[in-house]
Structure 1
């Protein structure tokens, strides 16, 4: 099931709570976000061929550059940048595993979305947003105003909001993969 379909299904269940518009804005690229979808590459599967390198933040990456940005939460424990060697199209979840990024889904969507990355946000952490505070319980769909977004950037292109989940999105050598935590729409997209 694609991330777009999951978010659309969740929007239906949240409509009574008045979150339909916010969730729809979260499930598709916003006007100021790139509209290109991150589509899986060819059906062949490449394997990650080596472990991550923590010095990849400023160096070119021949594999997949992996970025985790706690964004609006500003929690350095979750933020990292590394390069993962791959020899062909590789599923995003495997690339994150190779980068030693621990992700946690939700009870309802354990493999499709990210509720926590490297333990952030912690279950007891108050996420401040425009209407107060919120604590992520990782039961169903994360809040439409506070969530980890999955982004992909081709070797020579712009960031695009991923249209597939961790278990189906494939990335290729030369591409970048980013998990970005957004609160109330900020940051709207990864930094260059």
Structure 2
């Protein structure tokens, strides 16, 4: 993958006036175990920034243990992680996470030099956010699908790491297990989840998708039925005139 693919559906982007995915939530003062799907954002090769992702971020999308799996887009949103796409492809590609890399930020790529990310098109193959997942109790593995196609059950983990150069990408420097249990090393920022989002979030998202799917199915059927009725009425009227 040349860049971290968020989903297969090209939804509205976040550059040139398009919206962001995720809603900012308060930072946690102490690390706690995640009761849901944990998200790890590792700035990787990005230079330290005192305002955003200085060391790394851990957030939690709260889920009831019995809730069905949800996709990565839902997880990022519910965890309050800001993700931006591109002007060309929308949220199909991750271009910025928590505002990084900023459009004015210089990214140093070994043997290449300095790059800047405009987020107009697909992110550079030499400087991009990589996407990782971990099953409950498992370790990080490089994602083989976009976040929109994932099925992240409670206890799973989703990771984003910024990579540069042509070498193979590295997983988050914080293990999935440490992120789940809240036993991270010093330097990571822990973001609290809102209790109001809790337990039914996953099932509510699924119900919302089912409702939209039902509407998308019913409306065309109603429209087709109306056309048939009008045609039959026209034929009946024509016969009477004869």
TMscore range, shorter length: 0.5 to 0.7
Question: Which residue does 1:153 correspond to in 2?
Answer: 134
Instruction: Select the residue among 71, 96, 99 that pairs with 1:91.
Output: 71
Aligned pairs, number: 146
**How large is the Cα RMSD of the aligned pairs?**
2.5
Runs of 4+ more than 3 Å apart = 51-59
CA distance in 2, matches of 1:186, 1:120: 21
Question: Which residue does 2:114 correspond to in 1?
Answer: 133
Length-normalised TM-score, structure 2: 0.54
Gap runs ≥5 in structure 1: 1-6, 8-22, 28-50
Question: Which residue does 2:172 correspond to in 1?
Answer: 190
Distance 1:74 1:155, change over 3 A: farther
Shift of 1:109: 2.2
Contact 2:41-2:161 at 8 Å conserved across structures: yes
Contact 1:106-1:139 at 8 Å conserved across structures: yes
Matched, 1:112 2:92: yes
Q: Which is further off, 169-178 or 54-63?
A: 54-63
Q: Which has the larger radius of gyration?
A: 2
1:129-168 Cα distance to aligned partner (Å, 9 max, x none): 1111000111222111110011101112221111222322
CA distance in 2, matches of 1:83, 1:57: 13
Shift of 1:83: 1.7
Matched, 1:65 2:38: yes
